[in-house]
Structure 1
Amino acid sequence: MKELNYNDIYVSEISGRYINYDHLNEFINALPQEFKIKEEGKSVRSESIKSIEFGNGSHRILMWSQMHGNESTTTKATIDLLNYFKKDSTHINEILKACTIKIIPILNPDGARVYTRVNANRIDLNRDAQDLTQPESRVLKRVYENFKPDFCFNLHDQRTIFNVGETNKPATVSFLAPAFDQERNNSPSRKISMQLIAAMNSTLQEEIPGQVGRYDDGFNANCVGDAFQMKKTPTILFEAGHYSNDYNRDMTRGYIFKALLKALDTIAYNKILDYTVKQYEAIPENGKQFVDILVLNPDFTVNKLTKSGIVAIQYKEVLKDKKLEFVTGLHVFEKEPTEIFGHKTLNCNDEKDMEWLKSNDLLNLLV
Structure 2
Amino acid sequence: MDIDTIYNSIFEARLAGRYIALRHLTPLLKDYQKLGMVSTLGTSENGNPIYAIRVGHGPKKVLAWSQMHGNESTTTKALFDFLNFLIHPNGQPQVQEILSKHSFLFIPLLNPDGAEAYTRENARGIDLNRDAVNQSQKESKVLRRAFEDFKPHVCLNLHGQRTFYSLPGKKPASLSFLAPAADADRTLTPSRKEAMLGIAKMNAFLQGHLPGQIGRYDDSFNDNCVGDSFQKAGVPTILFEAGHCPGDYQREQTRKFLFYAFLSLFGMETVGVNVQVEDYFKIPENEKNFRDVILRKVVIGGELMDIAIQYKEVLQDGVVVWEPYIDEFGDLQALFGHRELEFGGNQILINSNENVFVNEKIATIVDKSSEKIIKI
Q: Scaled by the length of structure 2, what TM-score is found?
A: 0.88
Indicate if the aligned counterparts of 1:70 and 1:111 stay in contact, CA closer than 8 A. Answer: yes
Shift of 1:4: 5.2
Match of 1:97 in 2: 100
Residue aligning to 1:312: 308
Select the residue among 152, 156, 165 that pairs with 1:153. Answer: 156
Give the residue type in structure 2 aligned to 1:212.
Answer: I
Q: Offset at 1:3?
A: 4.1
Change (3 A) 1:27 1:301: same
Per-residue displacement from partner, 1:213-270 (whole Å, max 9, x unpaired)? 000111101000000000000000000000000000000000011101211227997x
| Percent identity of equivalent pairs | 44
1:183 counterpart = 2:185 = yes
Residue pair 2:165, 2:290 contacting (<8 A) in 1 also:
yes
For the pair 1:324 / 2:320, whether they are aligned, the reply is yes
C-alpha deviations, 1:302-329, integer Å up to 9, x for none? 79x8xxx310000000001111110000
Contact 2:164 2:289 in 1 (8 A): yes
Alpha-carbon distance in structure 1 between the residues aligned to 2:286 and 2:367:
28
* Greater relative CO, 1 or 2 (CA 8 Å, sep 6+): 1
Partner of residue 233 from structure 1, selected from 235, 239, 245: 235
Q: Give the partner amino acid of 1:277.
A: V
Structure 2 contact 205–269 (Cα < 8 Å) conserved: no
User: d(CA) in 1 for partners of 2:34 and 2:83?
Assistant: 13
- For the aligned residue pairs, the C-alpha RMSD in angstroms reads 2.7
Q: What amino acid is aligned across from residue 237 of structure 1 in structure 2?
A: L
Q: What is the CA-CA distance between 1:29 and the residue it aligns to?
A: 1.2
Aligned partners of 2:367, 2:289: CA distance in 1, in Å? 20
Asked if the contact 1:175/1:237 (under 8 Å) is kept, the reply is yes
Distance 1:239 1:160 in 2: 11
- TM-score normalised to structure 1 length: 0.90
Query: 1:48 aligns to what?
Result: 49
CA distance in structure 2 between the partners assigned to 1:266 and 1:7 by the alignment: 17
| Greater share of helix | 1
Q: Which amino acid aligns with 2:365?
A: L
Distance 1:345 1:102, change over 3 A: same
Name the larger-Rg structure.
2
**Inter-partner Cα distance in structure 1 for 2:2 and 2:315:** 41
1:250 counterpart (249, 252, 268): 252
Question: Could you list the runs of 5+ residues in structure 2 that have no partner in the other structure?
Answer: 353-361, 369-376
Structure 1: gaps of 5 or more residues:
none
Q: 1:86/1:4 Cα in 2 relative to 1: closer, same or farther (>3 Å)?
A: farther
> Whose strand fraction is larger, Structure 1's or Structure 2's?
2
- Does residue 342 (structure 1) correspond to residue 345 (structure 2)? The answer is no
Whole-angstrom distance in 1 between the partners of 2:78 and 2:11: 8
Q: What's the counterpart of residue 296 of structure 1? A: 296
Give 1:68-147 correspondences, 5 Å limit.
68-88=69-89, 89-147=92-150
Q: What amino acid sits opposite 2:180 in the alignment?
A: P
Q: Distance in 1 between matches of 2:275 and 2:55?
A: 27
Q: Does the 8 Å CA contact 1:35/1:54 hold for their aligned counterparts?
A: no
Q: Give the match for residue 284 of structure 1.
A: 284
Contact 1:94–1:268, Cα closer than 8 Å, also in 2 = no
The aligned residue for residue 205 of structure 2 is 203
1: CA distance, partners of 2:257 / 2:36: 24
What's the CA shift for 1:33?
A: 5.0
